[in-house]
């Protein structure tokens, strides 16, 4: 894995150099075309006179003449640097595509290796288990209408999906405005009522209104936060069955960069964390002390802060769909439970007597890139270095005053208002 990463890094570097040389040659050609006699040779009289005819004929002093030529050169240079910027943008886009292609190739190789006929283990240190499960075969008959929408909206078979009813309209507006601002086009609002459908339509936000389904619709209309959260696992299933990867997003999230440039795509579920430092986000050995056990007083336990079920990337695989089904099924039955707790229990509890755990691959997202509001308000805003760093998203998951904090995040990160985050306490005041 590590060696392949390096190799792909090298090839990206190599192709960047190649592209840079290409740009050099191209800019040289453009210059040669515009200045066939070089920058410093005497001006071509015919060209010069033609230009002078075009400009003001009455003024004919040599100083004006040269200043005019300078301004012409300046505008030529401006034109060239514009072209250069355009080319640089294309290079960036091509590099992105290349990186994605390399990534895809890597996953495909891993799958072939793992799914191939039985094979011997390689030498020490070279053995890698299967982490990237194969995607399911897409089945359009599940929902042809949604399939059509997804063909139009998704990019490389992936998109952001949010569920919204009229209770969250104000947050939804901040949400899609931030998404549009960073140029993301592959996102879709699942409108749970007519008000939100209308709102999306009038703001040119891609949306999808489900076919009537009494079971689900009664929850969608009147449902509180947690009930609607349970619904999303049922609705998501169709997206995966249609063969799409979904970046599920709550609406109390502000986008500052395109998240699709920052995913690994090597796991069934890649999720943001509720953790706030390396230990809590990525897992640690929490030692439990029981002094009366004497020599064996220390019991080691494994701990990790929960994954945030309001922002995760899920690939269309069998374990992913099994996860959605397990969570939806448990939320539909008593005892009533918090969807995020259920989501994590299903993901992490191992098989044991009387229980078969889920065999899904999981990855924790970088908590500085995919930042929760505890990290922002408790740590980042008070640290001169961390303040300068731009996250990919910020999720106001830890605070009940979501809308004002979302707006403050936009003020701070987008409009550069340095004191925008100051009025808020670290936690909520109750
Ligand atoms: C936290 O983890 C990251 C990468 O996983 C590492 O680069 C960094 O040094 C760690 N920070 C601390 C304080 O251990």
- Across the chain, mean pLDDT equals 86
Q: Give the 3-state secondary structure of residue 94.
A: helix
Q: Could you read off the pLDDT of 112-127 as tens digits, one per residue?
A: 555 667 778 999 999 9
pLDDT of residue 168: 96
Q: What is the pLDDT of residues 181-236, one digit of tens each?
A: 999 999 999 999 999 999 999 999 999 998 877 666 666 666 655 666 678 999 99
With a cut of 60, say whether residue 58 has pLDDT above it: no
Q: How far is the CA of 310 from the centre of ligand 1 (A)?
A: 25
How many angstroms separate the alpha carbon of residue 372 from the centre of ligand 1?
17
Span 392-399, average pLDDT: 98
For residue 283, report the distance from its CA to the centre of ligand 1, in Å.
12
Dihedrals phi, psi of 257, to nearest 5 degrees: -145, 170
How far does the centroid of ligand 1 lie from the alpha carbon of residue 266, in Å? 21
Q: Which one, of 255, 297, 249, lies nearest residue 271 by Cα?
A: 249
Nearest to 310 by CA among 337, 287, 344: 344
- Residue 94 scores a pLDDT above 70: yes
**Average confidence (pLDDT) over 262-278:** 98
Q: What's the burial of 418, exposed, middle or buried (CB within 10 Å: 0-12/13-18/19+)? A: exposed
Contact indicator for 304, 280 with CB cutoff of 8 Å? yes
- Reading the block at residue 246, the tokens are 């979904």
State yes or no: pLDDT of 407 exceeds 50.
Answer: yes
SS3 339: helix
Distance 362 CA to ligand 1 centre (A): 19
Ligand 1 centroid distance, CA of 278 (Å): 6
> Of 9-23, 34-48, 75-89, 99-113, which range is least confident?
34-48
- Per-residue confidence (pLDDT) for residue 396, from 0 to 100: 98
In whole angstroms, give the CA distance from residue 188 to residue 288: 45
Distance between Cα 242 and ligand 1 center (Å): 38
Q: Which of 103, 98, 427 is nearest to 263 (CA)?
A: 103
386 CA to centre of ligand 1 in angstroms = 14
Cα(107) to centroid of ligand 1, in Å? 26
C-alpha gyration radius of the chain: 28
Interval between CA 279 and ligand 1 midpoint (Å): 9
Residue 346 Cα to ligand 1 middle (Å): 28
Residue 369 C-alpha to ligand 1 middle, in angstroms? 13
With cut-offs at 50, 70 and 90, classify the pLDDT of residue 42: very low
**Backbone phi, then psi, for 350, in 5-degree steps?**
-80, 165
């Amino acid at each position: 894995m590590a060696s392949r990463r390096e190799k792909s890094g090298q090839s990206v570097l190599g192709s960047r150099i190649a592209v840079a040389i290409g740009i050099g040659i191209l800019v040289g050609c453009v210059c040669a075309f515009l200045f066939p006699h070089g920058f410093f040779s005497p001006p071509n009289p015919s060209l010069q006179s033609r230009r002078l005819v075009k400009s003001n004929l009455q003024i004919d002093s040599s100083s004006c003449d040269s200043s005019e030529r300078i301004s012409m050169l300046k505008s030529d240079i401006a034109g060239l640097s514009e072209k250069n910027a355009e080319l640089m943008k294309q290079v960036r886009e091509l590099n992105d595509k290349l990186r994605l292609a390399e990534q895809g190739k890597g996953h495909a190789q891993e799958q072939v290796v793992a799914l191939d006929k039985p094979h011997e283990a390689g030498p020490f240190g070279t053995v890698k288990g299967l982490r990237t499960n194969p995607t399911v075969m897409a089945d359009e008959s599940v929902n042809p209408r949604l399939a059509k929408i997804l063909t139009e909206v998704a990019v490389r078979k992936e998109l952001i999906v949010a569920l919204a009813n009229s209770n969250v309209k104000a947050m939804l507006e901040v949400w899609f405005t931030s998404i549009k601002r960073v140029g993301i086009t592959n996102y879709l609002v699942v409108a749970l009522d007519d008000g939100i459908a209308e709102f999306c339509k009038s703001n040119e936000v891609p949306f999808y209104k489900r076919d009537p389904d009494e079971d689900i619709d009664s929850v969608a209309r009147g449902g509180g936060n947690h009930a609607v959260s349970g619904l999303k696992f049922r609705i998501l299933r169709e997206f995966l069955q249609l063969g799409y990867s979904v970046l599920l997003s709550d609406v109390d999230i502000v986008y500052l960069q395109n998240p699709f440039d920052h995913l690994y795509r090597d796991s069934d579920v890649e999720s943001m964390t509720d953790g706030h430092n390396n230990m809590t986000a990525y897992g640690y050995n929490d030692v439990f002390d029981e002094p009366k056990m004497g020599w064996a007083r220390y019991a080691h336990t494994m701990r990790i802060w929960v994954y945030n079920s309001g922002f995760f990337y899920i690939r269309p695989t069998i374990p992913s769909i099994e996860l959605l089904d397990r969570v939806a099924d448990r939320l539909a039955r008593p005892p009533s439970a918090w969807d995020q707790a259920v989501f994590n229990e299903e993901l992490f509890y191992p098989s044991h007597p009387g229980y078969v755990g889920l065999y899904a691959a999981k990855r924790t997202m970088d908590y500085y890139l995919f930042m929760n509001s505890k990290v922002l308000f408790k740590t980042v805003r008070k640290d001169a270095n961390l303040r300068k760093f731009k996250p990919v998203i910020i999720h106001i998951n830890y605070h009940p005053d979501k809308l004002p904090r979302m707006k403050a995040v936009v003020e701070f990160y987008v409009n550069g208002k340095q004191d925008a985050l100051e009025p808020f306490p670290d936690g909520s005041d109750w």
